[in-house]
A = this chain, B = another copy of it.
Amino acid sequence: MTLSRAEQKEKTRRAIIDAALRQLSAGKSFDALSLREVAREADIAPTSFYRHFKDMEELGLTLVDECGLALRQIMRKGRKRIENAGSVIGTSVDTFMEFTEANPNIFRLLFHERSGTSHGLRTAVAREIQYFIVELSDYIETVGYEAESAYAQAEAMVAIVFNAGAESLDAKPAQRKEIARRAKMQLRFIASGAAQQLKPFKGKDQ
């Protein structure tokens, strides 16, 4: 079985991406990766890297895209679990936490590069997070909130879930369950707080 040129190229490209992911899993942060190291891990000559990516940054962007996509797909699957059984909040948090436990490196990449040095990567990550917020915000709107409130709720919820993910990175299983439990409580605070604001006669500032 011989591969066409295009197939072979794609294969090498994947090898590079996978090599980078493997090194991220090994506890390195993205900007601690060197081109040579990635090339070595991918079993190609350093200079061959350039046949596929102009830069380490370009590889980084690819990684962020791919990881963001993976995360979104998981969450989409999670939504099916909701339809069958269970609360929106509970299932979403569980799905997310399962993802970060199974793919700590992917989550870490997104979370870490959010405040990274590279402006390109930062905006790429911001865009991925934005997908979550908008998707959730749209849903909240359909339940009867005005756009501004919906967006604020969605953003807060995403922030809390990501925060829980970050906390759980160094946590032991027992702590992780506790973190998930707390995150759910926090999301309910937001949901019911926003609901209260919706009915202005009950609402009151502190």
A contacts, CB < 8 Å to B: 27-29, 31-32, 87-89, 108, 111-112, 114-117, 119, 122-123, 126, 149, 151-153, 155-156, 159-160, 162-163, 166, 169-170, 182, 185-186, 188-197, 202-206
Query: Given A31-B32, A156-B160, are A188 and B182 also a contact pair (CB < 8 Å)?
Result: no
Give the chain B neighbours of A27 by CB distance below 8 A: 117
A206 — nearest CB in chain B belongs to which residue?
A: B191
A153 contacts which of B111, B112, B189 (Cβ < 8 Å)?
A: B189
Contact present for B192 and A186 (CB under 8 Å): no
Query: Given A108-B115, A115-B112, A170-B123, are A197 and B186 also a contact pair (CB < 8 Å)?
Result: no
Contact present for B88 and A206 (CB under 8 Å): yes
